[in-house]
Amino acid sequence: MAMAMSDSGASRLRRQLESGGFEARLYVKQLSQQSDGDRDLQEHRQRIQALAEETAQNLKRNVYQNYRQFIETAREISYLESEMYQLSHLLTEQKSSLESIPLTLLPAAAAGAAAASGGEERGGAGGRDHLRGQASFFPTPGGASRDCSGPGEEGKQRTLTTLLEKVEGCRHLLETPGQYLVYNGDLVEYEADHMAQLQRVHGFLMNDCLLVATWLPQRRGMYRYNALYPLDGLAVVNVKDNPPMKDMFKLLMFPESRIFQAENAKIKREWLEVLEETKRALSEKRRREQEEAAAPRGPSQVTAKAGNPFEDEEEEEPAVPEVEEEKVDLSMEWIQELPEDLDVCIAQRDFEGAVDLLDKLNHYLENKPSPPPVKELRAKVDERVRQLTEVLVFELSPGRSLRGGPKATRRAVSQLIRLGQCTKACELFLRNRAAAVHTAIRQLRIEGATLLYIHKLCHVFFTSLLETAREFETDFAGTDSGCYSAFVVWARSAMGMFVDAFSKQVFDSKESLSTAAECVKVAKEHCQQLGDIGLDLTFIIHALLVKDIQGALHSYKEIIIEATKHRNSEEMWRRMNLMTPEALGKLKEEMKSCGVSNFEQYTGDDCWVNLSYTVVAFTKQTMGFLEEALKLYFPELHMVLLESLLEIILVAVQHVDYSLRCEQDPEKKAFIRQNASFLYETVLPVVEKRFEEGVGKPAKQLQDLRNASRLIRVNPESTTSVV
Query: How does the average pLDDT of the chain come out, rounded?
Result: 77
Q: What residue type is assigned to position 239 of the chain?
A: V
Please give the pLDDT value at position 309. 46
* Res. 262 pLDDT band, cuts 50 70 90: very high
Please give the pLDDT value at position 271. 92
Q: What percent of the chain has pLDDT over 90?
A: 4
For residue 18, pLDDT beyond 60: yes
Please give the pLDDT value at position 504. 87
CATH 1.25.40 corresponds to the domain 544-713: no
Nearest by Cα to 231 from 125, 403, 131, 92:
92
Sign, CA torsion 453/456/458/460: negative
Question: Between 450-475 and 410-418, two packed helices, what is the crossing angle to 10 degrees?
Answer: 30
* Res. 536 pLDDT band, cuts 50 70 90: confident
Specify whether the CB–CB gap between 722 and 714 falls below 8 A. yes
Q: Determine if the pTM surpasses 0.85.
A: no
Rounded CA-CA distance 201/203 in Å is: 7
Cα 307 from chain centroid (whole Å): 73
For residue 427, pLDDT beyond 80: yes
Q: Give the mean pLDDT of 649-665.
A: 85
Q: SS3 for 697?
A: coil
Tens of pLDDT, residue by residue over 150-168, are: 445 566 666 666 776 788 8
Please give the pLDDT value at position 705. 78
Q: What percent of the chain has pLDDT over 70?
A: 79
For residue 527, pLDDT beyond 70: yes
Specify whether the CB–CB gap between 138 and 184 falls below 8 A. yes
Nearest by Cα to 238 from 209, 263, 268, 267:
268
Interstrand relation of 144-146 and 167-168 (parallel, antiparallel or unpaired): unpaired
Please give the pLDDT value at position 119. 42
Question: Between 338-347 and 351-364, two packed helices, what is the crossing angle to 10 degrees?
Answer: 160
Tens of pLDDT, residue by residue over 107-140, are: 444 444 444 444 444 433 333 333 333 333 444 4
Specify whether the CB–CB gap between 686 and 623 falls below 8 A. yes
Rounded CA-CA distance 227/504 in Å is: 45
| Percent of the chain as helix, strand, coil, to the nearest 5 | 65, 10, 25
Please give the pLDDT value at position 149. 45
Q: Give the mean pLDDT of 246-269.
A: 87
Question: Between 666-678 and 638-662, two packed helices, what is the crossing angle to 10 degrees?
Answer: 160
CATH 2.30.29.30 corresponds to the domain 166-292: yes
Please give the pLDDT value at position 317. 47
Tens of pLDDT, residue by residue over 350-409, are: 888 889 989 988 888 888 787 888 888 888 888 889 888 888 888 888 766 566 677 778
